[in-house]
Amino acid sequence: MPSGVRIDAWLWAVRLYKTRSAATAAVRGGHVRVGGERVKAAYSVTIGDEVRVQREGWERVLVVRALLSKRVGAAIAQTAFEDRTPSRPPRDESAPPILRERGLGRPTKRDRRAIDRLRGRG
């Protein structure tokens, strides 16, 4: 068994990213930390390492249980790590819908950007 696997290959193999290049970009962008420190894409992850992945506004905390360098099925990928992520806070779905006055038509680009900012997407 190998002593370590590249972090970008492991993230792709356990299906956290759809493509290996997306995993590499996330590591380069500082969205992946091992043991609390930023790492490069060539960093060798080993069994027992704590990997923190920032995605879509929340952080996943994973502990490496198996080293995979090739993409595997979802059932096998689930056994390659232990998920210690705290539960996500519920999304605030109670925000009232944004209503436009009759006759204004479609929102302009400026209006759409303002709406996105209000909804926390922009």
Across the range 18-36, mean pLDDT stands at 94
Give domain status of residue 89, yes or no. Answer: no
Q: Are strands 44-45 and 5-6 parallel, antiparallel or unpaired?
A: antiparallel
Q: Is residue 101 part of a domain?
A: no
pLDDT tier, 44 (very low <50, low <70, confident <90, very high otherwise): very high
Q: Answer yes or no: is pLDDT of 102 > 60.
A: yes
Q: Specify if 71 maps to a domain.
A: yes
Residue 99 has pLDDT above 70, yes or no: yes
Instruction: Decide if 20 is inside a domain.
Output: yes
CATH number, domain containing residue 15 = 3.10.290.10
Flag whether 103 is in a domain. no
pLDDT band at 55 (very low <50, low <70, confident <90, very high): confident
Is a pLDDT exceeding 90 seen at residue 66?
yes
Structural domains of the chain, count: 1
pTM, full prediction: 0.71
Tokens 């209006």 correspond to 111
Domain of 67 in residue numbering reads as 5-83
